[in-house]
A = this chain, B = another copy of it.
Amino acid sequence: MQHKRFAAMPCPIARGLDRVGEWWSILILRDAFAGATRFDAFQKNLGIAPGMLTRRLNALVDSGLLEKQRYSEKPPRDAYVLTERGRDFRPVLLAMMAWGNRHFAADGIRVQMVEAATGVPADPVLVDRRTGRVLVEPDYVVMRGMQA
């Protein structure tokens, strides 16, 4: 119920949270980026109850982050594939991964981005594509106010 209120907020973070739904949805998206498309694969990876998984997948389809692709008619089976909107969520996940690794991996880093050619771990940082500069104050600030 509270999520309905988030959608009504003008803030893009609140609206984004509303569409993602809840934590399971973020882990479903994580597994989709790792190549999962089928119900069974998501269920095995996540250890989530089937009813909950069905609801979360349908919610992600309704929000336009996943789309169904039928891969079997008998029995009817759908794959769940990332849309452009879903793929565009990847930087949020990568930023969350980097933060989790920095702060909650005292027992060692298990998953991280690396440069494919060298295997050197990436140090993810958010920059302005136009200038290449890091998005930190005072160079960059959050601006409020309606813009078309």
Contacts and interface: CB of A to CB of B under 8 A. Distances in A.
Interface residues of A, number: 79
A112 B17 contact: no
Contacts of A92: 92, 95-96, 99
Contacts of A131: 115
A108 B147 contact: yes
A75 interface: no
B93 A13 contact: yes
A41 interface: no
Nearest to A48: B2
A119 B143 contact: yes
Given A13-B26, A96-B92, A147-B109, A129 B125 contact: yes
Interface string A82-93: 000100110111
A10 B147 contact: no
A141 B3 CA distance: 33
A10 B108 CA distance: 9
B13 A113 contact: no
Contacts of A70: none
Interface of A: 2-3, 5-6, 10-19, 22-24, 26-27, 30, 33-34, 47, 64, 85, 88-89, 91-105, 108-117, 119-132, 135, 137-148
* The 6 residue pairs across chains A and B that have the minimum distance between CB atoms: A12-B100, A16-B100, A123-B129, A15-B104, A122-B128, A10-B110
